Amino acid sequence: MKKLLAMLLALVMVLSLAACGTEPEAPVEPETPAEPETPAEPEVELTYAEANAAAIEELKAKYAPSAEAAEAAFAPDVQKAIDDFIATYGGTENAYVVFDFDNTCSIFDVEEQLAVHQLLTMSFEIAPENLADVLFTGIGDHDEDRTDLGYGNGSYADWVADITAAYEYLYTTYGPFTAAGLTAEEQETVHADPQWAEFATKMRAMYDLVYDAESPAVAYPWVLYWFTGMTEQEVYDLAYASHTYYGSVETSKVTWTSPEEIESKVGVVEYGWTSGTGVSAQVQKLWKSLDEAGIDVWVCSASATDPIRAAIDAFGLHDYVTGMIAMTNKVVDGIYVNEYDYETGCGWLDDGNGGWVRDDAPIKAQTQGFGKVESINNAIVPKYGCGPLAGFMDSTGDWNFCTEYENLKLVICFNRASRKVTDGGGLASAIALYQRDYLGYDLATANAAGDTLYVLQGREENGLRSLRNHTATMLRGAEEEQLLKNDDNYVQLYYIISNEMTTAEAINLFTVKTSADDSVIGIKYGCVAEYAGYHNIK
């Protein structure tokens, strides 16, 4: 019965639908979802150099190397600046200038050349049992590993152990050594012994290791402690012999290697150095011209006092110098000790008879970096009542004294073409090019605008070395001149140009050490940690 009722109900529903003429709706197919859109590649932010690549390449092309042969002379704009400076300020009251010496007056570093000469001649007054104390003077953790600096394996303690072992053998076998050094015949004998190559190579390489690992305040005086036990006259005589010899030889590169067969802690070390130094005829003439115009000539050097006195004499400059200040070690009972003299160390003055007389104004600072400003303020400014009218420089060590004095009229930067944007020499190069080629400055227009005029002087590092009548430099062994170190220098210069900066703005921005993350040009720059500002010394 239930089954019959169900069939009748189904029949009624079919008849009802037929009567309405309506068919059931077909099921709606679901929409096919759209393919998801591929997300756009995120835009990569271009670095400053990439964003301005075409303009920077154009700038580099503007300063492309010259094919012209260079004469031994100042560059034309530098010579004009010198002539204008002497004509304008010669004979004026309290007129004086300050020269750096190494790589400014001289081509290459006379102190570094002297270090090599001292090793070649074995001119030491240090007993073997005292050498370790001398070498450890002022430096940091003796046991910290310094291998990553790339000079050799191990710590300072390892370096000193190798050096003192070789020195003790040489001293016992061929010594005792003295400040007078070995004769040519004795040098030949000693140099033939592998222990000399072990000693000399590692002693010289440790100088650079200390320079890389330590602050300038530690590294600069470290090599001067090699004079421990000598008198001032003995250091002067040693330096004079070095300057005289290396001023007469053509530039060459020499490589020393410590012997594999000698068992050591540091291992085999290789060290390359440049042979040859000297002062060009153009710089000699400049000193003479300044002196004849009534402008006093001073030297402020980060080398030691006696080697710089000797260099002034050896290179024919003494007749034109007023005085010099440089690094000063303590003298106790007439001999040098391995300690810097911050209290009584003084410079030297021309005695009027071709000799020297000690000044009585203590320097009270190291003559490097900001210490040059302190030294000039302590020992020179009181004699004149003002800062220098001109500065002569090549690197960061000179940057403060060549930018901070308000009455600086002229700065000549001697172009080593190896100075990065992290060096004062690199920034000075950029400022000089910008002032000359984009601001149109000469001495008169720069000074009228309240600025120091910066000019860049190229040099010839090969042969017997000289200045050249180009802004660019012919580096040792190079076949093509070079103006700036690398692309970073051109990026910096382009930023200054494109932003039409003033000299003050450019110097104040690019002087302080700045990381790439905080940099306006995306690369690290700056040469000093703190800076009081362009022309801040009134």
Series of mean pLDDT values for 10-residue runs along the chain (538 residues) = 40 39 43 57 80 97 89 97 98 97 98 98 98 98 98 98 98 98 98 98 98 96 98 98 98 98 98 97 98 98 98 98 98 98 98 97 98 98 98 98 98 96 98 98 98 98 97 95 97 98 98 97 97 98
The whole-number pLDDT of residue 67 equals 77
3-state secondary structure 202-239: HHHHHHHHHHHHCCHHHHHHHHHHHHCCCCHHHHHHHH
**Can you give the residue ranges of every domain in the chain?**
64-107+278-510, 110-275
The whole-number pLDDT of residue 16 equals 43
Nearest 5 degrees, angle CA 228-CA 232-CA 238?
Answer: 80
Nearest 5 degrees, angle CA 423-CA 402-CA 78?
Answer: 90
The whole-number pLDDT of residue 363 equals 98
Q: Which two tokens stand for residue 396?
A: 């960061």
Distance CA 422, CA 412 (A): 19
3: number of Cβ within 10 Å: 7
The whole-number pLDDT of residue 118 equals 98
Nearest 5 degrees, angle CA 366-CA 368-CA 371?
Answer: 55
> In Å, how far are 138, 156, 375 from 153, measured between CA atoms?
21, 10, 38
Residues 520/495, Cβ–Cβ less than 8 Å: yes
Distance CA 283, CA 459 (A): 11
Dmax (CA) of the chain: 149
- The angle, 0 to 180 degrees and rounded to 10, between the axes of the packed helices 194-213 and 110-121 is 150
The CATH classification of domain 110-275, taken from the options 1.20.1440.320, 3.30.420.40, 1.10.10.410, 3.40.630.10? 1.20.1440.320
- Which residue matches tokens 């002539």? 83
3-state secondary structure at position 252: strand
Q: Which of 313, 360, 368 is nearest to 340 (CA)?
A: 368
Distance CA 366, CA 392 (A): 18
The whole-number pLDDT of residue 533 equals 98
The whole-number pLDDT of residue 35 equals 59
Task: Identify the H or E element spanning 97.
Answer: strand 96-99
Which residue type does 436 have?
R
Burial of 269 (0-12, 13-18, 19+ CB in 10 A): buried
- 430-434 own/partner pairs: CB under 8 Å, 24+ apart: 430/484, 430/489, 430/492, 430/493, 430/496, 430/506, 430/510, 431/496, 431/503, 431/506, 431/507, 432/456, 432/471, 433/63, 433/471, 433/493, 434/493, 434/496, 434/497, 434/501, 434/506
| C-alpha torsion angle, residues 36, 37, 43, 44 (rounded to 10) | 50
Question: How far is Cα of residue 376 from the mean position of the Cα atoms in its chain?
Answer: 21
> In Å, how far are 36, 235, 321, 421, 468 from 232, measured between CA atoms?
84, 5, 20, 38, 36
Distance CA 370, CA 11 (A): 111
Its pTM surpasses 0.75: yes
The whole-number pLDDT of residue 66 equals 85
| C-alpha torsion angle, residues 142, 143, 145, 150 (rounded to 10) | 30
- According to the CATH classification, is domain 64-107+278-510 in 1.20.120.160? no
The whole-number pLDDT of residue 68 equals 81
Q: How many CA atoms lie within 13 Å of 514's alpha carbon, on the beta-carbon side?
A: 18
Backbone φ and ψ of 402, nearest 5°: -95, 10
Distance CA 421, CA 124 (A): 39
